[in-house]
Amino acid sequence: MKKIILILLLSVFAFAKVNYAEPIPDFENPRKWLIRVNSSEPEKLNHILNAINNVLKGYPQEALQIEIIFYANGVRATRKDYDKKILARIKSLMIYDTIDFIVCKNTIDTMGWKTSEFMDGVDYVQIGIAEVIEKVADGWIDVSPY
């Protein structure tokens, strides 16, 4: 019985329709979603990654830009020696040209780490919080799912 209910719920979510606000997001005017990650707790990271995957189902790929900024303790989640399952989930999102992964260089420097210790495919900014401030000032939607 539980399996039937789960299948029904998944079916409903799989075909859920998003009621877009005006202007309707498209290639020329995508939604710009900023996600702040300041924790390396696996439960929180998995929740964030689940939310990203769910939102990706509701938008055409070209109608949504995402920037994920890892700062403070969240920077650990992008180290090559971090949890292999979570790293694989992050890498699976790197196939999208519309998702950028940004890591705070100040945190790396403070911890005495080197960029070579971090996963390929991430970009760096010197001050993660400043990147958040500037993105918000530029109209990005700052919603962190956890």
Which CATH number characterizes residue 74's domain? 3.40.1260.10
Predicted TM-score (pTM) of the model is 0.85
Domain assignment present for residue 126? The answer is: yes
Domain assignment present for residue 14? The answer is: no
Q: Exposed, middle or buried: residue 121 (CB in 10 Å: 0-12, 13-18, 19+)?
A: middle
pLDDT above 70 coverage of the chain, percent: 88
Length reported for the chain: 146
Question: What is the domain range of residue 82?
Answer: 22-142
Report the alpha-carbon distance of residue 53 to residue 80 in Å, rounded. 22
Predicted confidence at residue 16, as pLDDT, reads 52
Domain assignment present for residue 5? The answer is: no
- For 23-52, the pLDDT digits (tens) are 888 888 899 999 999 999 999 999 999 999
- For the chain, the domain total comes to 1
- For 54-68, the pLDDT digits (tens) are 999 999 888 999 999
Find the helix packing angle between 42-58 and 84-93, rounded to 10°.
20
Domain assignment present for residue 2? The answer is: no
Domain assignment present for residue 7? The answer is: no
Domain assignment present for residue 4? The answer is: no
